[in-house]
Amino acid sequence: MTTAEPKSSPRQDRRKARTRARILDAAEEFFASADPESATIVRIAEAADVAIATVYQHFAGKDDLHLAVVERALEHNERHLLTVYGSALPVPLKLIDAAGAYLRFYLETPQLFRVVALRQGRVSEETADSPVAVIMAERVDRMTQALARVIEDGIGDGSVRPVLSLDTAHFLWGACNGVIGLALRPDRLKLDDPAMRAALTQGVEILLAGLLTEPRRDRDGQLAPELRERLRAALNT
């Protein structure tokens, strides 16, 4: 007859969760840095102020820890966007607010943005079929598909011109990544925060003016004033 393992108390569970989160916070800083190879278990344990053995109690090793950091980043990104996509807002407002939500993802957690959008933090042995690469592809594809469905809803209700929804979603996601990523460049191409927001606002406005149907554009083909005002508010607050 085997003896059942003693159950942990809620207090122990909370303590374990706090320790795990502290380890992830420390690992995230290393993986999102310009030198992800510096993310050794020894350094992460030191930064988290825990014993090396404690790290291994929560994670099998560096690869497992890296996967957990990526998963947390993806979950954070999804929470920002799915809230918008699942709302009852009209499609034009969803598209505007999605751009604002993605910008907030970067502003609130730039380390996580680096991991998800710019793929900083890849370990050198990562391959196309590694767990991290697979989950990245699956989760990003899920978000792109969700955006494509929003665009299809707009086509259905007449607020969006007939376009290839998935191709358009890929472009919108890539364009936002590229512009926000300019704020993180280490060279002369780097944009400061106001310049990055201005470029993102102008780019999204141009895209929406071409994507949306009348009367969401004025007679000059520009984005309608009320939508332009909401866009500026979403990207500059």
Tens-digit pLDDT profile for residues 183-220: 988 889 999 999 999 999 999 999 999 999 987 776 67
Residues 113 and 188 occupy one common structural domain: yes
**125 located within any domain:** yes
Looking at the structure, tell me whether residues 212 and 170 fall in a common domain.
Answer: yes
Both structure tokens of 178: 């590229």
Residue 4 lies in a domain: no
Do residue 201 and residue 229 come from a single domain? Answer: yes
Per DSSP, what are the bridge partners of residue 217?
223
Same domain, 216 and 156: yes
Residue 141 lies in a domain: yes
Residue at 43 is within a domain: yes
What mean pLDDT is reported for the chain?
85
Question: Same structural domain for residues 42 and 83?
Answer: no
Which range has highest mean pLDDT (66-75, 112-121, 128-137, 225-234)? 225-234
Q: Which residues contact 58 (CB under 8 A, 6 or more apart)?
A: 16, 19, 20, 23
Which CATH number fits the domain that encloses residue 165? 1.10.357.10
| Co-location of 182 and 228 in the same domain | yes
> For position 120, what pLDDT does the model report?
46
Q: How many domains does the chain have?
A: 2
Same domain, 89 and 181: yes
Asked whether residue 94 is domain-assigned, the answer is: yes
In this predicted model, what pLDDT tens digit does every residue of 144-156 receive, in sequence order? 999 999 999 999 9
**pLDDT of 184:** 84
**Contact criterion met (CB below 8 Å) for 186 and 164:** no
Residue 119 has pLDDT above 60, yes or no: no
Q: At what angle do helices 41-48 and 62-85 cross, to 10 degrees?
A: 60
Q: Report the C-alpha gap between 89 and 93 in whole angstroms.
A: 6
Overall residue count recorded for the chain in this entry: 237
In this prediction, residue 85 carries a pLDDT of 93
Residues 6+ apart with CB under 8 A from 9: none
Residue 77 lies in a domain: yes
Query: Looking at the structure, do residues 55 and 73 belong to the same domain, yes or no?
Result: no
Q: Which band of pLDDT confidence, cut at 50, 70 and 90, is reported for residue 2?
A: low
Residues 47 and 141 placed together within one structural domain of the fold:
no
Q: Are residues 20 and 109 in the same domain?
A: no
76 confidence band (pLDDT: 50, 70, 90)? confident
- Give the C-alpha separation, 144 to 171, whole Å: 10
The residue range of the domain holding 214 is 62-235
Instruction: Please indicate, yes or no, if residue 2 is contained in any of the structural domains.
Output: no
| pLDDT surpassing 50 at residue 5 | yes
pLDDT at 92: 95
133 or 235, greater pLDDT = 235
Phi-psi region of 119 (alpha: psi -120 to 50; beta: other; left: phi over 0): left
Q: How many Å apart are CA 169 and CA 165, to the nearest integer? A: 6
For the domain that residue 39 is a member of, what is the CATH number?
1.10.10
DSSP at 137? H
